[in-house]
Amino acid sequence: VTDEPTVIILYGGTGDLAKRLVLPAFWELHTRGLLPKRWKLVGNGRGDVSHLDFQQHIYDALSEFATTPEPEAWKDFAPNVLFAGGGFTHDNPGSLLDVIQQAEDELGEDRRIIHYLAIPPSAFEKTTRAIKAHGLGPDAKAVYEKPFGTSLDSFHELDDLVHSVFDEEQVYRIDHFLGKEATQNLHLVRFSNRLFNDTWSREHLAQVQIDVPETLDIADRAGFYDETGAALDMLVTHLFQVAAQVAMEPPLSMAAEDLQDARESVIAAFRPLDPSEVVLGQYQSYRATEGVPDDSDTDTFVAARLWIDTDRWQGVPFLLRTGKMMPISAQRVSLIFKPSDGPVHSQGSNTNALIFDLKGNGAIEIQMTVKKPGPEPVPAESCSTLHLENVSEGSMTAYTSLIYDVFAGDRSLFTSSAGLEATFRAFAPLQADTRPAIQPYDDGSWGPAAADALTGDVGWLLGS
Ligand code: BG6
């Protein structure tokens, strides 16, 4: 817990993201005693909302999306919550500067500001300019949601602007997949267990699958989604970052800079996607969604074969897949081993795989061949799941964990400028004339049939 008196300015304070994810995370930190010792949370938005109304708004949001606050804990929390209405632009600060002054009167001048931009990416630029114009950049930290840029060009524009206000060390770009317990577990399990570490390479692995099917549709966020699509919403962001987490070389240490360096170097080795190895899909009823144009060609499904040009991964494809309106919701990273040599091989061996489940606390599964009980030595496929119960107590949501890291000044699980630039470079072929045509798929299906071919003989572990 930091001693630094802290003012958190939550832009988009009454918005959807704040309500569902950010405010519940603050609350969780509060109940665990992990917020800074002295703090103020200032919501910002265009509306004219009183401090009391904003406190009530948070109470209601917590009751709906987390748990109804215990009266005692709430009594400690609520008085620290303020609201600054009237918007915030470079020529009109609304009431934000006055409210910061009010917070400062209570916390003292040595307060540290954290700007938390829980606003649509299209508003990042305007708010960043306003922060600059009103002199709120120096010594502050700034948290940006994803996607940070929507193409290589727009990434550069935004990144230049952000760097004209903040040094890279002040910037925390969120990709909440990096904050998931199970994603953090990936490299810990790998680097601390010889059983896994020694097999983590092309000598032993046939392919890696990162598979995130989702059953949900996009009904309540058509505006954002139709401009974004699955490839931008999920592939270039979450799936690429998880791929980097799997594929990185051992970092020099577990320190933030070393982890970031390791992730950056491996992303720099992502070969630009080959459009002939990418399948884009759209679920059948998508265009009937309110707010989606009749002729929209936005992708709601993407499957891609990614190659990573490092010595460790030559010839090992990373198969990435995600989509809306699919038969199940899952988030799985599967390392699929090559068939083993030797006498059993000739009888046809089953898939041998090490699977990390990224949902919740994360389970680890091992799919392997064992002997079928009986008189003959018949191989059979079996699976063992490690639920990690003994270590799951105390686990935090991805947002809680990442926001805690912002307070603690630990940037190891945030994306870096150089890393993001490299992701957009690898992604660029999907944004040019070379973008593959969208293929329709049935609602509740596994996506266009063409996606199955990407995995070769192995098949997708889920759904096949
Ligand atoms: C978000 C995407 O970043 O991640 C959503 O915008 C997606 O489209 C979500 O559904 C999935 O993440 P999680 O961890 O909340 O299931």
pLDDT tens per residue, the chain (464 residues)?
A: 778 999 999 999 999 999 999 999 999 999 999 999 999 999 999 999 999 999 999 999 999 999 999 999 999 999 999 999 999 999 999 999 999 999 999 999 899 999 999 998 889 999 999 999 999 999 999 999 998 999 999 999 999 999 999 999 999 999 999 999 888 888 889 999 999 999 999 999 999 999 999 999 997 889 889 999 999 999 999 999 999 999 999 999 888 889 899 999 999 999 999 999 999 999 999 999 999 999 999 999 999 999 999 999 999 999 999 999 999 999 999 999 998 877 766 555 678 999 999 986 678 999 988 888 999 888 888 899 887 765 666 778 899 999 999 999 999 999 999 999 999 999 999 998 999 999 999 999 999 999 999 999 889 999 97
Instruction: Evaluate: CB of 145 within 6 angstroms of ligand 1.
Output: no
Task: Assess whether the previous peptide bond of 147 is cis (omega < 30° from 0).
Answer: yes
Pairing of strands 205-213, 278-283: unpaired
Sign of CA dihedral 129, 18, 120, 280: positive
From the CA of 344, how far away is ligand 1's center (Å)?
42
Dihedral angle over CA of 456, 457, 460, 462, nearest 10: 180
| Site to substitute for ligand 1 among 146, 220, 233, most atoms within 8 A of C-beta | 233
Instruction: Evaluate: CB of 233 within 6 angstroms of ligand 1.
Output: yes
From the CA of 192, how far away is ligand 1's center (Å)?
29
Q: Residue 389: what pLDDT?
A: 60
Q: At what angle do helices 256-268 and 417-427 cross, to 10 degrees?
A: 20
Give one word for 123, left, alpha or beta, with left for phi > 0 and alpha for psi -120 to 50: alpha
Sequence-separated (6 or more) residues with CB below 8 Å from residue 329? 213, 214, 215, 216, 359
- CA–CA separation, 431 vs 436, rounded Å? 9
- CA–CA separation, 219 vs 216, rounded Å? 9
- 238 as an active site residue: the answer is yes
Interface ipTM: 0.98
Q: Residue 393: what pLDDT?
A: 64
Q: Residue 369: what pLDDT?
A: 86
Atom in ligand 1 nearest the alpha carbon of residue 233: 6
Instruction: Evaluate: CB of 214 within 6 angstroms of ligand 1.
Output: yes
Report pTM. Answer: 0.94
From the CA of 399, how far away is ligand 1's center (Å)?
12
- CA–CA separation, 171 vs 362, rounded Å? 28
Half-sphere exposure of 3 (CA within 13 A, CB side): 0
The H or E element that residue 27 is part of is: helix 23-31
Catalytic residue among 30, 115, 187, 238: 238
Dihedral angle over CA of 139, 118, 20, 28, nearest 10: 0
| Site to substitute for ligand 1 among 234, 299, 357, most atoms within 8 A of C-beta | 234
